[in-house]
Amino acid sequence: MITKLDLPHSFVAEPVEKRIGLVLLATDHMSELDFARAFPLDRVGIYANRVAYENPTTPANLGKMLPRIKEAAELILPEEKLDVLYYSCTSASVVLGDEQVRRLLVEAKPEAKVITPVSALLEALQTLSAKKISLLTPYLPETSAPIEAFLEIEGYKVCKHTCLGIADDRVMARLDRETLLNAAQMAVDPQSDVLFISCTALPVAALIPELEHLTGKRVVTSNHAAIWSAWHGLGLPFDDAVMAQRAVRSASERHLALTA
């Protein structure tokens, strides 16, 4: 026998104060982890949906995602608002055209601050007053080349461009700490202002303080830049107790924090 309670219901305004939506490749191992580690989950909900995607990571395969992006974004808490919406693929943002990707995201969630790795990178480079870039990617050369071309079109000088020649983003996510540190050191040009490590699949965001120490350069990664852009978009204070617990450790993080 079931008893239906005759009980008045009261409600909170929302289950959580702020909401971030992530549109991910089906094969993405890292983006959810990077965002979950960065935000206070008692205040910020992180909700993800995935886009069908098959390796290898080539311009042709990346291009197949375009018709799937809007629907994937719409299915994140359908008919409800997000504060931030992030499409997490750097190479696809460039190959598909960042303006086109952003348009689809805005159509899906018009109230959200829309972020791509490309828009977040440009925001970070401007904030860091960087003009000369050392570029490191995990991609095949044909996938890496459009990243350099995009940066140069945007007015940045790519002093040195290095790629690891990996075709599968699931393999990129398994690169170990020693490999990433060695690659970063080899990728730096002394004349550059910043080392940009492209790709949301790489397990590199947590290594930024160590990378900056080893290279002597400010280091920005795709997810690192997006996390800071999202933090700004949520309006969370940088003197928040949770932020203090996480510690603003790297030079680029300190600068971005102080220029919110």
**Per-residue 3-state assignment (H helix, E strand, C coil) for the chain:** CCCCCCCCCCCCCCCCCEEEEEEEECCCCCHHHHHHHHCCCCCEEEEEEEECCCCCCCHHHHHCCHHHHHHHHHCCCCCCCCCEEEEECHHHHHHHCHHHHHHHHHHHCCCCEEECHHHHHHHHHHHCCCCEEEEEECCCHHHHHHHHHHHHHCCCEEEEEEECCCCCHHHHCCCCHHHHHHHHHHHCCCCCCEEEECCCCCCCHHHHHHHHHHHCCEEEEHHHHHHHHHHHHHCCCCCCHHHHHHCCCCHHHHHHHHCC
Angle at 59 between CA 54 and CA 62, to 5 degrees: 40
Domains of the chain in sequence order: 18-117+225-236 (3.40.50.12500), 119-222 (3.40.50.12500)
What does the pLDDT average to over 19-47? 94
pLDDT recorded at residue 204 = 94
pLDDT in tens, 177-223: 999 999 999 999 999 999 999 999 999 988 998 999 999 999 999 99
pLDDT in tens, 134-188: 999 999 999 999 999 999 999 999 999 999 999 999 999 999 999 999 999 999 9
Q: pLDDT at residue 255 above 60?
A: no
Q: pLDDT at residue 242 above 50?
A: no
pLDDT recorded at residue 243 = 44
